Structure 1
Amino acid sequence: MTKTVGDVMKTIGIFNDSFPPIMDGVSLATQNYAYWLNQKKQPVCVITPKSPNYSDNEPYPIYRYTSIPILGRSPYRIGLPEIDPAFQMAIENISFGLVHAHCPFSSGRLALNIARKQKVPFVATFHSKYRDDFEHSVHNKFIAKLMTDGIIRFFEKADEVWIPQASVEETIREYGFKGKVEVVDNGNDFATNLPVAPIKMAARKKLGIADNELMFLFVGQHIWEKNTRLIVETLGEIKDLPFKMFFIGTGYAKAELQELVDKLDLSSKVSFVGVITERDTLKEYYAAADLFLFPSIYDNAPLVVREAGAMQTPSVLVKGSSSAENIVDYYNGFLIEESSRAFAEKLRELFKSPEKIREAGINASQSIARSWESIAEEVLDRYRKLIERKWKR
């Protein structure tokens, strides 16, 4: 099959090192890119490391390669495509029209090599604060900087570099990238035009949330970088109030977080649910919650804030963080200083003002919850234009 100007004919390759059963924001973005491109009849495939004891059941092809676990960062894995001959043979038989890397590691390097070999456009999306991850892993800022420099060299080889929201440009510039970046939003598969109030009421009943209780929610990796300790410490300061808190996800800090919950005598109020891969179940938790607590200053454009907003659940975020871009205090969310005292004061205030929470939730659903289907239309148009430019050259 040949490429034609104005249409994407060959397969689009979506590359990322995390994909279900690993659930994080980038994994979810990768999944939705592939799903909605496939829905729009665009040939697409996903290339990602193998996950043990997991079988794919998607309507598009998924090619997995050999991987090993990353110590201390379960469930994440290091991909080793170069030692997987069966995978290499399968990939060599695919004729790509464009490749899109959502991370700069094993799958990203593979995407770059394929783009060079097949002479097709190479798109790379800058999602994460990689230097923070490196500093946590190697405990040496000099080595972390060298590793970050390598990441920037990777992005410099892309035909286009995308970022999920404007504030992420500050991070990539800080790391030393001098090229052009394109803002391409992430979408939200919970965005709906249907009434949300009945969904919220049913979800609260199912989870056993009393009328006089506030329900708080956190969804994401249970790691210190996301300020999860601050959440628990803040809850310790308001434990006289009637509330329920649910943590969804997993991560290296989960056990210590549970110990802190026990130490602060919060066990009757705080539950650790674990990983939820079923989207309808996760949607119920978002809908049941009054407030989504996400004080992370680590994240770039977190999908979870938009998912909560789609269910009319406003977020509490740290003022000035990348996570808080597009959030106006008391309009479509709530902003705090990065301290347990400020956090606790805000929650106490909102406990007395449920109408402010409801109004912010409605505004969040209208202002930050864009559907993945509309994002896919934009993405496909960008792909077509990039292929056309490459084809002309």
Structure 2
Amino acid sequence: MRICFFSESYEPLLNGVAVSVGLLVKRFREMGHEVYVVTSAFPGYRDEDEHVYRVPAIRTWADPEYPVPLPYLSRVPEKLKNLDLDLVHTHTPWMLGWLGLRIAMRKRIPIVSTNHTQYTEYVHYFPFAPKSAKQRFIIGLMRRYYNRCSGVIVPSAYVQSMLRDFGVRTPMYVIPTGNELGTKRDPQARASVRAKYGIPETAQVLLYVGRVAREKNLGLLFAAFDRLAQTYASLYLFIVGGGPWEVQARRLASSLKAASRVVFSGPVSRKEVAAYYSAGDIFTFPSMTETQGLVLSEALGAGLPCVAVRAGGSPEMLVEGEDSLLSENDVDDFAAKIKLLLADSSLYHRLSSNAEKNASRFSTSEMVRRVLTVYETVLSRDEALASCDTSLTEG
């Protein structure tokens, strides 16, 4: 099969979308499929892969980490005309998504799109209009885009329900992203990472891995940690990752009573981050805007019980009371759930053991198999419609 992916997020970006796209590209090529990628250019980054097409992009003040692509200022659209493709798979409803749709329509081939992001919760990056107006605009654009697709893949039933509420009528398929990191307990990595950042071997460590951004609700985690740190003298908070809110996060952490026990790693490469999970004891995830929460499956693989806010797609990744505890978006409740694990070693070890077992639910092989099934479904439906059109014309 010859497939072309369109995504604003791809190497060298480090986020859940880039991970998902990279995983599919790698696995499909290993299976013998021919895969192309259209994505944004990054200053100083060069691809060794000749099947990756970079379009010009500009950095904006809103979020400099995510360049805005300008596909029609390049020859890429012309080059794509000459590709013999079976299917287009977009990972964005924005500029590159519409380019992918245009290519699919021109070639009369199916287009599948994956919705990775709860875009309505990111409007704070564009402050020059009322929040409600921005959200209405985004919902309308998403509805128009996804209703032109042959199929839509979503990472959770939560997102499926959200898109249905937005008026998306296209067939949808719930397929969570698999854990390709293969996280596991690693005592050597645990000792090494802790030593690198000056975290004592005997410390109890609350771990957060992910983008340090306003929408991740990290203020809740900082407040809960500061409250618990007054009781637990060996408690540390380890923030792994970077992002646009890192300066503010460090400033907020410095104001805590237990500021000396908050450790920031800064950006960590995808190749290195698996080891960082072993440095933690409890995975704490306050985000309310996740469509899935890929880091939750990675934490489970490392045997970390999770404490997460009951919002978005996060609850679907976890089995409450078995490998995790869920909290309301409330400091008292979030701190109380963490305290249960700190105070009850039998509960902690039971959830930790179950976490490792339950991580197997997020198999990359199963993810790839199910995505290919979606491709085969839309291709067969497209062929049936084409056959019907031909019959009507001939009749």
TM-score, normalization by structure 1: 0.90
Name which of structure 1's ranges 321-330 and 100-109 shifts more when overlaid on structure 2: 321-330
| Residue 361 (structure 1) aligned to one of 352, 362, 371 | 352
| Residue 220 (structure 2) aligned to one of 227, 230, 237 | 230
Matching residue of 1:181: 172
Q: Percent identity?
A: 25
Query: 1:290–1:357: 8 Å Cα contact kept in structure 2?
Result: no
The answer to whether residue 176 in structure 2 is matched with residue 190 in structure 1 is: no
Q: Deviations over 1:11-55 (max 9, x none)?
A: 211111111221111111111111111111111121111111122
**1:98-109 to 2 correspondence within 5 Å?**
98-109=87-98
SS at match of 2:134: helix
1:147–1:166 Cα change, 3 Å: closer
| Counterpart AA for 2:355 | A
SS at match of 1:188: coil
The answer to whether residue 91 in structure 2 is matched with residue 91 in structure 1 is: no
Unaligned runs of 5+ in 2: 387-395
* Runs of 4 or more consecutive aligned structure 1 residues displaced over 3 Å after TM superposition: 209-212
Matching residue of 1:111: 100
Shift of 1:153: 0.5
Matching residue of 2:378: 386
Query: 2:293–2:317: 8 Å Cα contact kept in structure 1?
Result: no
Q: Measure, in 2, the Cα distance between the counterparts of 1:57 and 1:335.
A: 43
SS at match of 2:122: helix
**1:189-268 to 2 correspondence within 5 Å?**
189-191=180-182, 196-197=184-185, 199=186, 201-208=187-194, 209-240=199-230, 241=232, 242-268=234-260
Q: Measure, in 1, the Cα distance between the counterparts of 2:276 and 2:204.
A: 13
Matching residue of 1:3: none
Higher RCO, Cα 8 Å, sep 6+: 1
The answer to whether residue 328 in structure 2 is matched with residue 351 in structure 1 is: no
| Residue 44 (structure 1) aligned to one of 17, 32, 35 | 35
Q: Measure, in 1, the Cα distance between the counterparts of 2:217 and 2:152.
A: 28
| Counterpart AA for 1:223 | A
Q: Deviations over 1:266-322 (max 9, x none)?
A: 44212221222232x200111221111111111111111111111112221112542
Matching residue of 2:294: 303
The answer to whether residue 12 in structure 2 is matched with residue 21 in structure 1 is: yes
Query: 2:80–2:103: 8 Å Cα contact kept in structure 1?
Result: no
Name which of structure 1's ranges 206-215 and 301-310 shifts more when overlaid on structure 2: 206-215
Query: 1:330–1:356: 8 Å Cα contact kept in structure 2?
Result: no
| Residue 277 (structure 1) aligned to one of 236, 247, 269 | 269
Shift of 1:163: 0.9
Shift of 1:75: 0.4
TM-score, normalization by structure 2: 0.89
| Residue 112 (structure 2) aligned to one of 106, 111, 123 | 123
Q: Measure, in 1, the Cα distance between the counterparts of 2:221 and 2:113.
A: 33
1:361–1:14 Cα change, 3 Å: farther
| Counterpart AA for 1:293 | T
SS at match of 1:167: helix
| Counterpart AA for 2:192 | K
1:132–1:320 Cα change, 3 Å: closer
Query: 1:21–1:277: 8 Å Cα contact kept in structure 2?
Result: no
Shift of 1:260: 0.7
Q: How many residues align?
A: 376
Name which of structure 1's ranges 323-332 and 118-127 shifts more when overlaid on structure 2: 323-332
SS at match of 1:96: coil
